[in-house]
Amino acid sequence: MKRICVYAGSAAGNNSAYSEAAKELGSKIADLNYSMVYGGGSRGLMGITADAVLDGGGEVTGIITKQLDNIEVGHKNLTELEVVSTMHERKARMAELSDSIISLPGGVGTWEEFYEALAWNQLGFYSKPIILLNVNGYYDDLYKFSQKGVDEGFLPLNTFSDLYLIDTIEEAFQTIKSFQPKDLNDWLKRLDR
């Protein structure tokens, strides 16, 4: 079973299109018989996506820190909720359990998560597609900034090619299905490309 790591905001945002996309993504994960791995929260786009997967009969694994679980933001109805000590453990566990990454709109925590995943791709820890679900053009400027990193010689094109700016959920799953992992043994060579 394919496992999709979903990064998403702990808020729902100011536009209903974000919540609608989160619900649609969760439903599609369940429909395709995939499972979801995420940060374990019950609120915002995270919670909406998890609920949609569960409502569709899918499995959801949440990874949450003790601190967040203690203030009761953890989702209580997941297939499995793992409680870890630190944010670093949380992200490493989500990466360990997933085959690909889809980022819904979110704030600095979401951005940090998918950029770290991109860095781990670059360093050869794994090779996964990292999809920015560009609801309402939310990620347009951030993607342009990432492209500037390539243009200015700070981000290898080979790494940037693992970051997908995608407008539809259907296209996101087509990208996941067609993704060809890179050879993890030549990661150092790829830094120059």
Whole-angstrom distance, CA of residue 133 vs CA of residue 165? 6
What pLDDT, on the 0 to 100 scale, is given for residue 1?
64
Domain containing 52: what range? 3-190
pLDDT of residue 69: 80
Specify the pLDDT at position 68.
Answer: 86
pLDDT at 143: 97
The number of folded domains in the chain is 1
Give the model's pLDDT for residue 190: 59
44 in Cβ contact with 10 (< 8 Å): yes
**pLDDT attached to residue 193:** 54
Main-chain phi, psi angles of 183, to 5 degrees? -70, 115
- From the first residue on, what is the mean pLDDT of each consecutive set of 10 residues in the chain (193 residues)? 93 97 98 97 96 98 90 87 94 95 97 95 92 98 97 93 96 96 71 57
DSSP code of 128?
-
CATH number at residue 34: 3.40.50.450
Tell me what pLDDT residue 187 has: 61
Q: How far is CA 169 from the centre of its chain?
A: 13
